[in-house]
Amino acid sequence: MEKKATYEAYTKELKNRFKYIVISFFCAFIICYSKATQLTYLFVTSCYTKNSLDLKISFIFTDVREAFSATLLICFFFSLLSFSLFVWYSLVCFFLPGWFVYERSGKLLGIAVPFFLCIVYILWVHIFILPKVCDFFFAFQVQNVDCFSLIVEPRIYSYVSWGVWFLVLASLFFAFVCSLLLLIVRGKLPPSRWNNNRKSRVFGTVLLAALASPPELFTQSLISLALFFLLELIVFFAFLFYSFAHKKSTKIFLL
């Protein structure tokens, strides 16, 4: 009877928290939609690079619904970004009573640090990396060369969807690297298993580069090589840290 009452209490709390999460998302979306112009400006600031020929880039839309769809997509992205804070808070409040007192600080730190690092990482990608990518593409503009000009006039929905997709892939890559480092540090992924799956890593980086870059072979090859070497470098230092920590713990155990 007691177990049934505990189960009903847990399910009731889950339902209430899910209801609060849904309500908070709609509230965040309404607030973001009320500030849609300012959020759109924040999102498209990555277009203002040194290779943009004009100080003010004009976006166009060829469909009557395109600007509205781009606005909804920007509001949805910023709503998810702010809404994730409340989701993290709700999950911590739900699991916190089931943790022992001595392990609460460690688990809270292990959950909070990767989450806030992911938020900072997304902002860093949007502020520093995305303008560099746009700067690379804008470098192919041509102006007043032998009565010929090639000026960019991006479609608003095309740029917004590409930017959101780029940030989502960057956040997924960050989550994958954090999970990989956690598995290596805890000894769940030995070096032998990692070395045997190099072909799958090459395929994964090529697939990620194909999703994040335009359909052009040279650009995709550069991005896939950069991702592959970055991943190998991260894992190399993770294995060094794991081996150092393992040797240190072994010496302490022997002493």
pLDDT for position 65: 87
Cβ count near 184 (within 10 Å): 20
**3 state SS of 50:** coil
Whether 70 and 156 have beta carbons less than 8 Å apart is answered as yes
Q: What percent of the chain has pLDDT over 90?
A: 5
Q: Per residue in 156-184, pLDDT tens? A: 888 888 888 888 888 887 887 777 777 77
pLDDT at 251 over 50: no
Give the mean model confidence (pLDDT) for residues 64-75. Answer: 90
pLDDT for position 255: 44
Name the residue type at position 135: D
- Selected residue with higher pLDDT from 50 and 252: 50
pLDDT for position 174: 81
DSSP state of 140: T
Domain locations along the chain: 2-184, 190-255
List residues bridging with 142 in a β-sheet.
150
Burial class (CB in 10 A: 0-12, 13-18, 19+), 204: middle
Q: Per residue in 195-241, pLDDT tens? A: 666 777 777 777 777 776 666 677 777 777 877 787 777 777 766 76
Structure tokens at 242: 């794991």
pLDDT for position 233: 77
Cβ count near 222 (within 10 Å): 14
pLDDT for position 252: 42
